[in-house]
Structure 1
């Protein structure tokens, strides 16, 4: 059944695909911020993951190795951020912005030889007869592995933060790094590991853009997805399952505006194209207007540098 030329089952399935890059990047940034670090370089890490993943997949012919290459490329960039902010005590906001600018420039240089090349195809998970079920099969059982992995990562991060000792320590570092240090925890090591995890997730999200979502390499392929991921962390009030909702909200709006354009809606294309970003800004305004409700859920030590000698 089509609604105004739009198939609801295809729309929901497309929504799930569109949300994967920002969901992965956002859940990685959530872990980083839970550790008390504000990394504004998500956009730069995502686009580095996109170009490294694309290059690796093209050269090896393996999408799987492409995703690994994307994660490693973004992790390398996040390690630079970790060294500057955790060991050299650089300002986290300025360093994150510089990381984004550096990532955009370096990815443009690295990707010059890959313009116009098609990456190897990423196959869907073979669910057999389940994929042939009406409506449900198209929505739930006809996706590539990264769609299911992104949801699994959300569940694992939620369980680790809520139930494990590791999660308790991470949250303690993000709330009061001095108290955590006094208890004998290696604050710098924990934060570096969190930053590396965030980089890997952003890299996977970027690789998904260039290998599955588009799939091709073009300069600026992330198109602000990293900034949207940062906004979704705030929208989610630093809660993993809300990241899933926020990513699906943004992904749904993005897909809907494309479908409306294809269906010939009498709305100027410029308004449709900017609608996902306007909705994201509106959601953030609503979340932040409730007497600082979302701000109160932020880790207390977010953005504060730690030095053991203080």
Structure 2
């Protein structure tokens, strides 16, 4: 009995010790923000969301929401969910996932209605918002998937920016020379692999600091593509820059599915790169978490020494994963020049490789989570552009900053645990 008596208090102490009040405090602060801004200071009038375009086969009526009333409802829901989170933490020592997810959805919808209701036009086209966001989201997803493959095996891929840029340049050059977009797509994958080969060789074989190698490769690719752009792509023949006129990949709408409001134009009216993105997200998630291959990769990223003892070649696994990640990022770079725009320009990726790293962290090193985080970043970026033209009660730079602030909160643990693979960034020396 004395042993039992000694064990029970220790368990109780452990339960108290692991309680974290960061999440209830954060939800409480956001709920107070909702009460003051959405309910008390919310603009009058209606917020109109146009779901269908005039050319759509299926016409869906506009969604009209009274801004003030909706703000009050959102504020009450946020307060209720914040109180629920506090009670669950006090009684059970944890918050149910549905509470955090419900709060996030309600708050984001309330924020969007408040922003739209405060603009001069008081309306927004959801189809344009999400389809425009895909121009940013697609390369972000490819970059974040590259990071997932690398970091799950224990290699930090800071060179995503360089891989995207190399893919964009090579795709434009090869597609211009061959007048074949698919040749440019294949060349982009090879270019991404070449950059990742340097990353793998220096960081895995020669045990150079992975962060330093990644930064150096980004600078190298930026300088090299800029030099070749000036010396080759700007060369004119009969007044035409023939080496910077890539053939585009056509859109391939899927019958019936492409006519679904919002989702149709966003997901099923894509080029082959867009469809490849959807396939890769599902395939990499399934491979990592449902196959022996994925188990080996995760073992190498979490505990390489243990993986080595059961016969897994740690460094070879890492090398192959880094090469595969480079190929994926290269294809994502090809999206810039074969789909999004009609030519290559210096440093046209604009730092999206670093944003892909943020999406990777926010998505908790999960392919689906990283893709959803990339979509959030894309929507925020496109929303900033749309609202800057419509007139909004808040500065557009705040909207651009919001996803990165959420990433910081995710890393710091305010929105749940976010832990990188245990051996991420640590070189493995056998012996």
TM-score (norm. length: structure 1)? 0.91
- Pick the aligned partner of 2:220 from 74, 95, 102: 102
Q: 2:149 aligns with which of 15, 22, 31?
A: 31
Q: Which moved more, 1:286-295 or 1:188-197?
A: 286-295
Deviation at 1:103, TM superposition (A): 1.1
1:237 aligns with 2:359: no
Q: 1:192 aligns with which of 319, 339, 347?
A: 319
Partner of 1:290: 413
Asked which structure has the greater RCO (Cα within 8 Å, sep 6+), the reply is 1
Unaligned 5+ runs, structure 2:
1-49, 52-115, 235-240
2:208 is aligned to: 90
Structure 2 residue corresponding to 1:303, chosen from 419, 425, 428: 425
Q: Secondary structure at the match of 1:169?
A: helix
* Counterpart residue number, 1:272: 396
Equivalent-residue separation in structure 1 for 2:256 and 2:366 (angstroms): 35
Q: Is the 8 A contact 1:12 1:252 kept in 2?
A: yes
Match status 1:213 vs 2:337: no
CA distance, structure 2, for counterparts of residue 120 and residue 275 of structure 1: 34
Is 1:114–2:233 an aligned residue pair?
yes
Between the aligned partners of 1:208 and 1:282, the Cα distance in structure 2 is: 27
Residues 113-262 of structure 1 mapped to structure 2, 5 A cutoff: 113-115=232-234, 117-128=244-255, 130-132=257-259, 137-261=264-388
| Alignment deviations for residues 204-236 of structure 1 (CA, whole Å, 9 cap, x no partner) | 111111221233211110111000011111101
Write the distance in 1 (CA, Å) between the matches of 2:267 and 2:135. 11
- Aligned-residue Cα RMSD (Å) equals 2.2
Structure 2: distance between partners of 1:33 and 1:133:
36
Report the counterpart of residue 48 of structure 1 in structure 2.
Answer: 166
The answer to whether 1:57 aligns with 2:180 is no
Calculate the TM-score normalised by the size of structure 2.
0.66
1:69 aligns with one of 184, 187, 194: 187
Count how many residue pairs are aligned between Structure 1 and Structure 2: 304
Q: Secondary structure at the match of 2:158?
A: coil
Query: Per the alignment, do residues 80 and 132 of structure 1 end up closer, same or farther by CA in structure 2, a change over 3 Å counting?
Result: same
- Looking at structure 1, the residues matched to 163 and 260 of structure 2 have their Cα atoms a distance apart, in angstroms, of 38
How far off its partner does 1:292 sit?
9.4
Cα deviation, residue 128, structure 1: 4.1
Q: Distance in 2 between matches of 1:298 and 1:132?
A: 40
Task: Quote the Cα distance in structure 2 between the aligned partners of 1:279 and 1:193.
Answer: 35
Cα 1:287–1:132 change in 2 (3 A) is closer
